[in-house]
Amino acid sequence: MVHGIYQLASAGDSGADVKRRLGMTAPAAPVGIVMLCHTALRRAAQVARFWMAAGCPVVMHIDRAVAAEDVQALKDDLGAQPLLRFSERHRCAWGSWHLIRATQEASELLLRDFPDVGHVLLTSGACLPIRPAQDLIAHLTAHPETDFIESVAIDHATWIMGGLSEERFTLYFPFDWRRQRWVFDRFVDLQRKLGIRRKIPAPLRPHMGSQWWCLTRATLQAILSDQDRGKYERFFRQNWIPDESYFQTLVRLHGRVIESRSLTLVKFDRHGRPNLFYDDHLQLLRRSDCFVARKIWPEAERLYDFFLSTQPAKLEPVPADPAKIDRYFELAEKQRLDGRAGLYMQSRFPRETSASTKSAGPYSVFTGFEHVFQNFDFWVGQVTGTRAHGHLFAPERVQFHRGAKVWHGAISDSAAIRDYNPRMFLTNLLWATRPERQCFLHGPGDVMDGELGWFMATDTNAQISVIRGAWMLGLSQKSQPIEALVALAGQMHRQEQEWIGHLTSRWVLARVRIFTLAEVLAEPRKHLIDALGGTVQDTALDAHGLPRLVDATSLDEFTTGLRNKGLPAQVLRDCQI
């Protein structure tokens, strides 16, 4: 049954006009979408429906590498849509000319079939609208003659990766950078050595920028119909990554009003790879002043469910804060490069030159105090409110607080496990107990690994307090033959000298306090407060008092006996009271 008779189009009418009169197209919004898709076609279909629901015509290019059955499944899923077209398929390798070719053909199809379109937005299958479609339509309607494309002169394109700026326009690049990297680099070196330089066609002035743009119909039509298009294409075919320079350069010839920014939010890492957005980035994306974001993780259900629904339009708008997004990714990149302070792992091992602290939190190290004050570790825990340890590096076992066998992070008290890598033992302990401050004893008689000593001395989180020669008080309490004590005294002196050497180096970053035994015995309160370094309040000191001093009355007699048995006087110098 015939429902109506349509007037035949005149010879001058375009095919698009005929299709519109015959009801083969729907009224189109003033913005059309070109989608370059190669993966996650299910998500691409969701996004295409979103645009078409807002009246935006969509042209999809499906990479030729995608299996035919997957493409057919996508078409069956979308069904017959008056606002949907599929362009001819090309194999679009990264940075290849085929990306430009696919964009050109999809744009030509869009402009031909939808004459009402005033702007064309280029997106990928991994892009997601992050603001209501009507916001984008309103924005472009308010700027009918403006081209939104990042187009920066190569002299100012400081983000360029790989050291190729102007050279990507003047050298030849017949080899694939990803699959033939060695040959690629050697061929570039050869051209530099031979002085090869391609001529840039006049009147082109090379510009670069994001490949995701939004151009006016007039500008895009002028680029596609330029009488010198063949000449320009021959030139850009030889460029490296032409999708970042072709439209960005030609828009400078044909654009009337250019706003040099992309309406698509893309963030790159230091290797030039785009960062992925996940579900936990939802609130961050709402703060963007862009309309589309890329790349979205295909399994980010929350992002797709939220932004492709009517929820964003119903909620109170969030003030745009692009600077906050920039800071977020700058901090993320810094963390990716330096790692988190104090976290050591295969994928994030901090560099020696990293500005990040070596440990996860502040800690206090006391040398010799347990020989001068009775039950010092218990007293420190009382006045500082911490769980102070004994000698973490005692030869027999790790002396955790109250004799614990296993500490936080499943850290064993085994001396053999600890001594496999003493430095990592300490960093693991500090990481597992953050943000609680750790206090422990360390000094002659312990396993004093030189690498560990240097690590603590150059750690800004370390607070180290030493009483020189205090180990002699502890030695005087031992009931061993005098000959054995002489040998032990010489060993402990050498250990202390090495430890002091680390702590007095010009490269020390820790907060170091070194006292003589005589100074501490003369003014114990003053030097205890100085050693604790602001980690204890006067009220705590008043409440718990000072620890009792060890009886040192027989020390002079003991050191005299050692000297008479052959111990050098310089070993005993710091033990005088």
Q: Quick check: 499 pLDDT over 50?
A: yes
Annotate 498-525 with three-state secondary structure: HHHHHHCCCCCCCEEEEEEHHHHHHCHH
Task: Say if strands 292-294 and 128-129 run parallel, antiparallel, or are unpaired.
Answer: antiparallel
Q: In what order do the strands lie in the sheet with 462-468?
A: 438-441, 363-367, 462-468, 511-516
Q: Which residue is listed with tokens 């430095």? A: 423
Task: List 103's β-bridge partners, or say none.
Answer: none
Q: 159 vs 283, which has greater pLDDT?
A: 283
Q: Quick check: 28 pLDDT over 70?
A: no
Share of the chain above pLDDT 70, in %: 92
Task: Say if strands 146-148 and 84-86 run parallel, antiparallel, or are unpaired.
Answer: unpaired
Q: What confidence tens digit (pLDDT) does each residue in 112-152 have?
A: 999 999 999 999 999 999 999 999 999 999 999 999 999 99
Numbers of helices and strands, H then E, in the chain: 26, 18
Cβ atoms of 207 and 248 within 8 Å: the answer is yes
Spatial separation of the C-alpha atoms in residues 20 and 115, rounded to whole Å: 10
Spatial separation of the C-alpha atoms in residues 493 and 490, rounded to whole Å: 5
Which range (72-86, 331-345, 383-397, 490-504) has the least confidence? 331-345
Q: What pLDDT is attached to residue 351?
A: 64
Q: Which residue is listed with tokens 């090309």? A: 90
Q: Quick check: 223 pLDDT over 70?
A: yes
pTM: 0.72
Q: What pLDDT is attached to residue 158?
A: 60
**Cβ-proximal residues to 526 (8 Å cutoff; 6+ apart), any chain:** none
Q: What pLDDT is attached to residue 353?
A: 59
Spatial separation of the C-alpha atoms in residues 228 and 234, rounded to whole Å: 10
Predicted confidence band of residue 456 (pLDDT cuts 50, 70, 90): very high
By C-alpha distance, which of 108, 81, 114 is closest to 14?
A: 114
- The residue-averaged pLDDT of 169-187 equals 92
Spatial separation of the C-alpha atoms in residues 266 and 326, rounded to whole Å: 11
Task: List 62's β-bridge partners, or say none.
Answer: 37
Q: What confidence tens digit (pLDDT) does each residue in 306-321 have?
A: 999 999 988 888 888 9
DSSP label at residue 89: P
Spatial separation of the C-alpha atoms in residues 488 and 495, rounded to whole Å: 11
By C-alpha distance, which of 55, 7, 9, 8 is closest to 29?
A: 55
Q: What confidence tens digit (pLDDT) does each residue in 90-110 have?
A: 999 988 999 999 999 999 999
Spatial separation of the C-alpha atoms in residues 94 and 271, rounded to whole Å: 15
The H or E element spanning position 235 is: helix 229-237
Cβ atoms of 467 and 367 within 8 Å: the answer is yes
In the chain, what is the greatest distance between 2 CA atoms, to the nearest angstrom?
127
Dihedral angle computed from the Cα positions of residues 446, 450, 451 and 453, in that order, rounded to the nearest 10 degrees: 60
Task: List 505's β-bridge partners, or say none.
Answer: none
Q: Quick check: 561 pLDDT over 70?
A: yes
DSSP 296-323: BPTT-HHHHHHHTSSHHHHSPPPPP-HH
Kindly report the length of the chain.
577
Q: What confidence tens digit (pLDDT) does each residue in 536-559 have?
A: 777 778 788 889 999 888 888 888
Burial (CB count <10 Å: 0-12, 13-18, 19+), residue 95: middle
The amino acid at 572: L
**Cβ-proximal residues to 185 (8 Å cutoff; 6+ apart), any chain:** none
